[in-house]
Amino acid sequence: MVTLNVEDFGQHHGETVSKFTWRASDGFSVSVISYGATIQSIQVPDKYGITSDVVLGFDELDGYVNRNTPYLGTTVGRCANRIGGAKFSIDGTTYQLANNIGKDHLHGGINGFNKANWNSTVDGTKVIFSYLSKDGEEGYPGDLITNITYEVTEDNALHVDFMSTTTKKTVVNLTNHSYFNLAGHETGVQEIYNHIFVINADKITETDSGSIPTGGFISVGGTPYDLRVPTKLGDVINKTGNGFDDNFCISTYTNKSLNFVSRILHPSSGRTLEVYSDQPGVQFYTSNSLPAPQESALVGKQGVGYRRHGAFCLETQNYPDAVHHTNFPRAVLYPGEVYKHKVVYRFAAAAAEKLQYPIVLPA
């Protein structure tokens, strides 16, 4: 049986920030705060029954408000990832966005969805977060109403469902930006390099020097990006330059069906994470922008210093910059349509170190 507890996590501009914690019978737990609809903690037992927190984050609200430039655990939107040139056109009208990463636009702008304290409603053991992004917010057209439903099930799975509607044609691409380390958030780079990855993708989107897609694709075969078979991260990460920060195109994607995205194993703990989604892509990111060894660390939970390559992200999504590429899945939401995005994170622990594709999809 999964239980749900609610407590205060602080105050933001006179509003209470709530923290919701689900607990399963074996010690698995998930905590989400209303500020940024942010995953704050995921506690996962290992194969010996020892529980560790496997996501990066902060113990207090101030960290999320004032120090969370890497978007640890947050919901990002209206448009996750990059929009080239920080602008787009719909029906002949050009909309200028914040160029908050060089000349381009990233993760919804300066005050994106990660900076909002979302309204929340409890429905049994589900929590529904709601936010109204008003017409013109961060340059986007239309009033956009978004609901995000979080639910934890007894099989140690976290289900996240995004849903949006709009009053004008607008760009929508939502995701969660959790940073995972299955060895425990405090263990850092060396344990991340020991993780074994599979990603269900036979190509990535080609990008220019600013990480903006060209509209082309690169086959992963014969490259460090070929993660279709179990691959130890430490064996390939240094072959990519600074690390992975790429959109992988899901090989078995079919419109709105739940597909296997990725499976990750940390051998010594036995912890595994499986990701399923109905989106066409996933951004695999190895926290390249966290501080380098010679820089001051980003201080997170329990005073732990977070550094480059100390965690990984799997951001299920539409392809980056899709609004500028007609051969990418459509990124524009129309009035009367409903944007939907479902992602499932399933955790487990087992002694076996051999990584295989899962067969059974979650309900």
Q: Is 178 annotated as a binding residue?
A: yes
Catalytic residue among 186, 191, 274, 315: 315
Rounded Cα distance, 92 and 60, in Å: 45
| Phi-psi domain of 222 (left: phi exceeds 0; alpha: psi -120 through 50; beta: other) | left
Q: What angle do CA 34, 37, 40 make, to 5 degrees?
A: 85
- Residue listed under structure tokens 């990725």: 262
Q: Which amino acid is at 143?
A: D
Question: Residue 345: helix, strand or coil by DSSP?
Answer: strand
Pick from 299, 315, 350, 275: nearest CA to 44: 350
177 catalytic? Reply is yes
Pick from 36, 51, 64: nearest CA to 301: 64
Rounded Cα distance, 10 and 19, in Å: 9
Q: Which amino acid is at 216?
A: G
Could you write out the DSSP letters of every residue in 42-102?
A: EEEE-TTS-EEE-B---SSHHHHHHS-TT-TT-EE-SB-SEEGGGEEEETTEEEE----BT
Pairing of strands 87-90, 259-266: unpaired
Rounded Cα distance, 333 and 21, in Å: 32
The token pair that represents 213 in the structure block:
């897609």
Q: Is 245 annotated as a binding residue?
A: yes
Catalytic residue among 177, 266, 309, 341: 177
Q: Are 245 and 308 in contact (CB under 8 A)?
A: no
Q: Is 177 annotated as a binding residue?
A: yes
Pick from 75, 150, 146: nearest CA to 112: 75
186 catalytic? Reply is no
Q: Residue positions in the annotated binding site for beta-D-galactose?
A: 81-82, 177-179, 245
**Bind-site residues:** 81-82, 177-179, 245
Which residues carry out catalysis? Answer: 177, 315
